[in-house]
Amino acid sequence: MSTLPARDAESRRPSPAAPGARLDAPTEDTAAPAAAQPGDAAAGGGLRRIEATFARLRDAGELGLFPYLMAGFPDVATSHALAQAALEAGADGFEIGVPFSDPLADGTTMQRANARALAGGATLETAFDLVRTIRHHSASVPVVLMSYYNPIRQRGEAAFAESLQAAAADGVIVPDLPPEEADDLHAALQARSLALVPFLAPTSPGSRIGAVAALAPAFIYCVALVGVTGARSDLSDTLGDFLGRVRAATPAPLVIGFGISQAAHLRRVAALGADAAIVASALTDLVERSPSEPVAAARAYLTELKAATRGPLVR
């Protein structure tokens, strides 16, 4: 996950590699990039898959539910089982975290998840492998990676975009790469019909909202609060005003993240005009608290949340 206030501060490009970061080391169990499948970017996936999903949700009057899964957390096998359980629970899309040693936008829950995944040997390739598993089970569900910039820079923007397409992912969220410095990555992704998902925060000025809107993004990640990631009991009273400012500038789908943890949160953001919500820290907390049955616990939790996104109270 990521933060927005950093986006609206003076931008700075990160160093080539943070100390101790495991950027792209090969692992013995790393699978080779999968051949393009039906439904990947070359065959109508990527941007088209994202567009089709939001069109379906609008037609059904539903709020999209996008679980966040950290690749390799709590271990590789369980992360793959969690993805399948999320699909069974009705997930409409996924955000897949790339483990990183210095997750500046994340709170304590996601910091622990990053550290545990790295300790287990997870890398960027682990994230691509998780995408391939999701794509094996669903040709239609959008999957975007969430990666800090260092792993992408280490591989190179063009090579990263090629790997993203080969895994049949649909785009990437980069919390520490401001739009002003994203031209190379944006071009590499656009050439493959893949999405670069921008952030906006409650502190974003009108000029930043306008700049993001001008990109005509596949969707916009709207941060529900100021601060780092983490489950919250309440959402900001100013969230509606923030979403209204963004909606006035762009027709792009708005996806809410940071602090979403309850069915009531989903109903509220839907009523405020959001198109989807990302559930991250609360799901990660639950997996961490359920060492004997993490998959069953996650399935039940996500099933409950997805039920809250349907019905006349949602819109």
Who's near 152: CB < 8 A, 6+ residues apart? Answer: 160, 172, 174, 177, 185
Neighbours of 211 (CB within 10 A): 17
> Which tokens go with 247?
């909606």
Q: Is 180 a catalytic residue?
A: no
Residue with tokens 């709590």, as numbered in its chain: 74
Residue tagged active-site, from 95, 125, 176, 285: 95
CA distance 287 to 269: 24
Answer yes or no: are the C-beta atoms of 194 and 46 closer than 8 Å. Answer: yes
CA 132 to chain CA mean position, Å: 16
Coil vs helix vs strand at 257: strand
Answer yes or no: are the C-beta atoms of 148 and 178 closer than 8 Å. Answer: no
Q: Write the single-letter amino acid at 131.
A: V
Residue tagged active-site, from 24, 62, 92, 106: 106
Answer yes or no: are the C-beta atoms of 100 and 4 closer than 8 Å. Answer: no
Answer yes or no: are the C-beta atoms of 169 and 194 closer than 8 Å. Answer: yes
Half-sphere exposure of residue 225: CA atoms within 13 angstroms, side-chain side = 19
Catalytic residue numbers read 95, 106
